[in-house]
Amino acid sequence: MSEFPLDLPLRPRRNRKSAGVRALTRETRLSPDQLILPMFLHEDKNDQALESMPGCTRWSLDGMLREAEGALEEGVRAVVLFPKVEESDKSRTGEASFDDQGLIPKALRRLKKELPELVLITDVALDPYNSDGHDGILNDDGRILNDETVDVLVKQALMQAAAGADIISPSDMMDGRVGAIRDGLDFAGHTDVSILAYTAKYASAFYGPFRGALDSAPKNGDKKTYQMDPANAREALRELALDEMEGADMVMVKPAGPYLDVILRLREGTTLPIAAYQVSGEYLALKAASAGGWLNEKAAVLESLTGITRAGADMILTYFARDAARWLREDR
């Protein structure tokens, strides 16, 4: 300790001296209404705990309604729906993806009727419905058929919009699908339905638990010919420019935590709202470390979500949505 006071006019610690002062000077603020709850659904009448994602559930339609109602009461105003499709309903061309009597449209109609204030987001991709486990249609030599896939994705988006989706979220990473979906929605009169584009979706190792939840892993090969190379960041700006030009209303980076730099690059490159997806591998890593006593779950989760927001995300898809909303309310 110095014998004499330091001759420094500025003392940044003054803004950290109490909880009240820290709250007043906080630069990044996290709120429950920024959070989106992903929900896994199946046709079974019983809810099923997910072995690959402890703490998460594959919901029946009744369970889905209870969970969504609970989330809404806690301040989470949006959900995104993911179906587990029976093998018997899968095909190489994914026709079940646009069946208006399928699981997702039934879920949309019920949620829209029972919880009209809840924002309903749908996933547009073929991997849950494709017997090959890919986001697109494969030809006989294993190559993804981009344009043929886009035609099916448009049909899927139109069905979802008609069933009550507020936001359509194409996650497939096919070229040109945002523009085709926008044109299809507008032509069909769904001009108020928004598009949240998976703009920078990386071929990540962090998706494994999710694929277990949906039983949607590729049967052969991988997704590296359409999902982005994890080494690339500038390429995300090219995808951003294309999605903006094609009519996206919001854009997304997935995963979130390992790609904070990409979120920041998109934030600096667009005025559109940015979503980030804290994916299943991120969730499971935090859950496992917390269960082992190595992390304080509440503190670590809120810090991770704050970091994603600080990087530039306006909204976050996270399996911690209900817990985080509850913790934020407790800390007020």
Give me the active site residues, please.
Answer: 201, 254
The DSSP code for 127 is: T
Sorted by sequence, the CB contacts under 8 Å of residue 249 that are 6+ apart come out as: 167, 194, 195, 196, 272, 273
SS3 110: helix
Helix (H) or strand (E) holding 200: strand 194-201
d(CA 128, CA 82): 8
d(CA 101, CA 38): 21
Question: Residue 32: left if φ>0, alpha if ψ -120 to 50, beta else—which one?
Answer: alpha
Cβ neighbours around 17 below 10 Å, total: 10
One-character DSSP codes across 41-71: E-SSSS-EE-TTSTT-EEE-HHHHHHHHHHH
Tally of residues, the chain: 332
Inter-residue contact 282 to 257 (CB < 8 Å)? yes
Which residue is listed with tokens 């998706």?
207
Sorted by sequence, the CB contacts under 8 Å of residue 4 that are 6+ apart come out as: none
Task: Kindly list the distances between the CA atom of residue 296 and the CA atoms of 1, 63, 206, 303, in Å, as whole numbers in the listed order.
Answer: 33, 29, 21, 11
Largest CA distance in the chain: 80
